[in-house]
Amino acid sequence: MASERIRFDIITLFPQIFPGYLGESLLAKAIERDLVHVHVHNLRDWSREKHHKVDAPPYGGGPGMLIQVEPVVECVEAVRELDTDPGELILLSPQGQTLRQRVVSQLANQTRLILLCGRYEGFDQRIVDILQPREISLGDFILNGGEVAAMAIVDSAIRLIPGVLGDERSYAEDSFTDEATLEFPQYTRPREYRGRTVPDVLLSGNHQEIAAWRAAQRQQRTAERRRDLL
Ligand SMILES: C[S@@+](CC[C@H](N)C(=O)[O-])C[C@H]1O[C@@H](n2cnc3c(N)ncnc32)[C@H](O)[C@@H]1O
């Protein structure tokens, strides 16, 4: 069961990415209803340098810049102190554990998550060694920064907080919720469009038959598209 309320602290070099996303749809409503708290922190505020830089070239050479250890460690320590609940620190990284529904459920059980977003060529290794975060990846591809991955965690976790979705059954029926199958096909009005009609069983009013049809469709769809899940 997910927490009744989650506090997210997002540490980023680009805080302006977030307001639009936080102000829309389910997430905006969840924030308004006090089920979700989101605090965005600018990592540059912990820079020790005059122009608020937090990156430097890698020792040993190579392209790009790395995020330095001091601002990140000091920022995380300060952000942790903003609440009595220390929360779990998540570092967004392509080298982390892949985000799956099972991982989302674990994260949604927490009452506080601190999400650390990288940029450039990533982080100085000592950040991981010192802070020992849980590293999470959105998948086997490289993003420009961790912000989209942080949003994916927030977006997927809040769905599991009781009261965020209008009808809790939407979550129960979603793909992956049972860890094994994709959702069955769904239809809404009109009943017929360009010769394609809604399957009769869905109009039958027979709940048992509808449930059996949906269960069979789940299996068939998963076998066709994601045999690896079965
Ligand atoms: C360009 S990436 C750095 C990639 C790094 N040089 C490597 O090869 O592992 C910059 C930042 O984007 C974020 N990022 C990139 N791909 C990601 C993914 N698949 N999942 C989560 N975060 C990702 C991380 O925070 C990372 O530090």
Q: What is the pLDDT along the chain (230 residues), one digit of tens a residue?
A: 689 999 999 999 999 999 999 999 999 999 999 999 999 999 999 998 989 999 999 999 999 999 999 999 999 999 999 999 999 999 999 999 999 999 999 999 999 999 999 999 999 999 999 999 999 999 999 999 999 999 999 999 999 999 999 777 777 778 887 768 898 999 999 999 999 999 999 999 999 999 999 999 999 999 999 998 88
Question: Does the C-beta of 146 come closer than 6 Å to ligand 1?
Answer: yes
Top mutation candidate among 98, 119, 136, 143 for ligand 1, by most atoms within 8 Å of CB: 143
User: 137: which strand partners?
Assistant: 98
Answer yes or no: is the C-beta of 133 below 6 A from any ligand 1 atom. Answer: no
Rounded to 10 degrees, what is the CA torsion of 74, 78, 84, 90? -50
pLDDT in the model for residue 179: 63
Range 6-158 classified under CATH 3.40.50.300 = no
What secondary structure does DSSP assign to 26-58, as a single string?
HHHHHHHTTSEEEEEEEGGGG--STT---EEPP
- Ligand 1 close to Cβ of residue 122 (< 6 A): yes
218 catalytic per annotation: no
| CA 86 vs CA 36, 112, 133: distances in Å | 16, 7, 12
Q: What is the pLDDT of residue 218?
A: 93
Which residue out of 43, 65, 92, 115 has the highest number of ligand 1 atoms within 8 Å of its CB and is therefore the one to mutate? 92
144: phi then psi, degrees, rounded to nearest 5? -75, -25
Q: Which CATH class is domain 180-229?
A: mainly alpha
**Span from the CA of 95 to the centroid of ligand 1 (angstroms):** 8
Q: Say which of 88, 121, 155, 173 is annotated catalytic.
A: 121
Q: Active site includes 135?
A: no
| Angle subtended at Cα 31 by Cα 4 and Cα 46, rounded to the nearest 5 degrees | 100
Considering the candidates 155, 174, 221, 226, report the single residue annotated as catalytic. 174
Q: Is 178 a catalytic residue?
A: no
Is residue 80 annotated as a catalytic residue, yes or no? no
pTM higher than 0.95, yes or no? no
Closest of 76, 133, 132, 87 to residue 110, by C-alpha = 87
Question: Does 12 sit in the ligand 1 pocket, CB within 6 Å?
Answer: no
Q: Where are the domains of the chain?
A: 6-158, 180-229
Q: Residue 137 C-alpha to ligand 1 middle, in angstroms?
A: 8
Do 6-158 and 180-229 agree at the fold level? no
CA pair distance 226, 80, nearest whole angstrom? 40
- Of 7, 112, 119, 159, the catalytic one is 159
